[in-house]
Chains A and B, each alone.
Chain A
Amino acid sequence: MERREFLKKILKWIFILIGGGLVLRLLSVIRRKPAPIGSIYENYDPTEHYYAMGIDIEKCIGCGRCAAACKIENNVPKEPYFFRTWVERYIITVDGETFVDSPNGGIDGFPPLGSEKEILRSFFVPKLCNHCDNPPCVQVCPVGATYKTIDGVILVDSKYCIGCRYCIQACPYGARFLHPKTRTAEKCTFCYHRITKGLKPACVEVCPTQARIFGEVKPRNNPLARFVRMHKIRVLKPSLNTEPKVYYANLDKEVT
């Protein structure tokens, strides 16, 4: 055998080996089986649940316990610009103008109104992430750091988030903020660590008037099913086709 021919053969084999290895690696990536759900969730099957919340405006007394409890449960920064849930006060005057305020999210109560004579109607609206079924924030995330879980909750992967704030811009409900320390997006998780263990979200747990009802869309035997049967339901900004899963009862037309 000539030297030239020998080298050619050797090179050919090296190429085949490397190429074959690459193909095998590729196949293993493509064929990778998803980890069983049990390896992520313990004693909990997310395919059996689909969560949502109901809020009755008629029952909210604006005490702000929900916003306070949320901050404690989820270690939300104490500064009054960061909220996963908050309470807004709507004031509609006799002239038809609407004013909205939410001093410290309602945690310290609401200051008295100057003159009651000018008020046509006034009420409180608790707000939080609507956990949309068609979430704009998830669509815009460039790295896949925000997502909808199997049971319909929108979460943020804080290790993977690059802090670009697209999602904060995209959310039509203003439900997201950038955590001042970690510089990643943050939002309501429906207290995912609690609901998967059978507890209620912290805001629902402490609500003194049951203005907040937590439950599920899918199985019919739960408090939310009763809520949506007994009330006339509206969602926020239905025209945006985000399909929110926070259902409001007795919502005023001025609320957006």
Chain B
Amino acid sequence: MPQQVKRLIVVFVALILVFFVIRSFLVPPTFGEYGHYRASSVKEILSQNIKYAGEVVCEECHDDIVEIKSGSYHKRLSCETCHGPAYEHSQAPDEYTPYIPSKRDYCSLCHGYNPSRPTGFPQIDPVKHNPLRPCIKCHNPHDPTPPEVPKECKGCHEEIYRTKILSPHALLNCTECHKAPEEHKINPRAFRPTKPSSRKFCGKCHSKEAKVSEEIPRVDIIYHGYGNLCWECHYPHFPEAHTTKKE
């Protein structure tokens, strides 16, 4: 092998060694142990302080409230959803007191009417629903069942009821369209309520000839949506007639 090649090899080997030595000083100690990252940074992230204690911790002291809550509509709500972070409180109960929301704005974050919310979620119009009175005057937040216990259809058909009260049919009683035998309340599947079966039924209010208030929308009951039954396009509990644009 010629002399100059030998020298070049020596130089290259020396350079490669120097590269690795410098690299060993620059790369942080735990880099690359579990992947292309600094393993000790996981430890730094793990040391972050916890703020939300988790519901199990609350139960240890506030078992009385948890019991009230467990039978209510709010049973699956975590305490800290309303009361805010409580880890510090769980460590030093006397020094840190969790937040207690008492204003109407807070409840309406969930229960204020918003058309984007899923159907059936209990909502009120904060302007019309007992204006200015704090929600907690009538509803116990740990058991928010309305003070008047429903005795009618909505006792079981709550979802339909909640949908209907937001619809143009809000003022119609269930019995206007369904005739429920008294036994239905005791043996609901054996004694079923009636359902309208023809277009004529809706026509009692919505046909051009109907003798009812003029504000009710009217259609030609024979030719409007010919060939379909009314409830194949309109959901009777929320008829949505307004979604069709007027030309």
Tell me the minimal C-beta distance from B70 to chain A in angstroms.
15
B190 close to chain A: CB less than 8 A? no
A45 close to chain B: CB less than 8 A? no
Contacting pair B46 A192 (CB below 8 A): yes
In angstroms, Cα B212 to Cα A22, docked, is: 100
Task: Please tell me the number of chain B residues within 8 Å of chain A, measured between CB atoms.
Answer: 53
Identity of the chain B residue whose Cβ is nearest the Cβ of A148 in the assembled complex: B35
Contacting pair A160 B46 (CB below 8 A): no
Question: 8 Å CB contacts to A: which residues of B1-53?
Answer: 14, 17-18, 20-21, 23-24, 28, 30-31, 33-52
Which residues from chain B contact A98 at a C-beta distance below 8 Å? Answer: none
Contacting pair B81 A65 (CB below 8 A): yes
Which residues from chain A contact B158 at a C-beta distance below 8 Å? Answer: none
B108 close to chain A: CB less than 8 A? yes
A202 close to chain B: CB less than 8 A? yes
Which residues from chain A contact B78 at a C-beta distance below 8 Å? Answer: 205-208
Which residues from chain A contact B242 at a C-beta distance below 8 Å? Answer: 116-117
Contacting pair B35 A25 (CB below 8 A): no
Which of B61-69, B110-118, B147-155, B216-224 binds A? B110-118
Contacting pair A122 B115 (CB below 8 A): yes
Tell me the minimal C-beta distance from B170 to chain A in angstroms.
14
Task: Please tell me the number of chain A residues within 8 Å of chain B, measured between CB atoms.
Answer: 64
Contacting pair B43 A40 (CB below 8 A): yes
Which of A116, A145, A194 is close to B115, meaning CB atoms less than 8 Å apart?
A116
Q: A155-B45, A160-B28, A193-B45 given as contacts; is B17 within 8 A of A23 (CB)?
A: yes
Contacting pair A59 B118 (CB below 8 A): yes
A215 close to chain B: CB less than 8 A? no
Which of A3-11, A67-75, A169-177, A228-236 binds B? A67-75
Q: A25-B21, A61-B118, A208-B77 given as contacts; is B42 within 8 A of A40 (CB)?
A: yes
Which residues from chain A contact B38 at a C-beta distance below 8 Å? Answer: 144, 157, 159-160
Tell me the minimal C-beta distance from A92 to chain B in angstroms.
11
Contacting pair B117 A62 (CB below 8 A): yes
B211 close to chain A: CB less than 8 A? no
Contacting pair A109 B108 (CB below 8 A): yes
Which of A59, A150, A196 is close to B34, meaning CB atoms less than 8 Å apart?
A150
Tell me the minimal C-beta distance from A31 to chain B in angstroms.
12
B84 close to chain A: CB less than 8 A? yes
Contacting pair A192 B243 (CB below 8 A): no
In angstroms, Cα B108 to Cα A23, docked, is: 70
Mask of A53-96 contacts with B, CB within 8 angstroms, 1/0: 00000111111110001001110000000000000011100100
In angstroms, Cα B47 to Cα A89, docked, is: 35
Identity of the chain A residue whose Cβ is nearest the Cβ of B74 in the assembled complex: A208
Identity of the chain B residue whose Cβ is nearest the Cβ of A115 in the assembled complex: B242
Which of A26, A35, A194 is close to B17, meaning CB atoms less than 8 Å apart?
A26
Contacting pair B52 A205 (CB below 8 A): yes
A113 close to chain B: CB less than 8 A? yes
A112 close to chain B: CB less than 8 A? yes
Given A109-B112, A160-B41, A206-B81, 5 other A-B residues pairs in contact with their CB atoms under 8 A: A19-B17, A26-B24, A35-B30, A119-B243, A207-B78
> Can you list 12 A-B pairs with a CB-CB distance of less than 8 A?
A26-B21, A35-B30, A40-B42, A61-B114, A74-B48, A90-B116, A147-B35, A159-B44, A193-B45, A193-B50, A207-B78, A207-B81
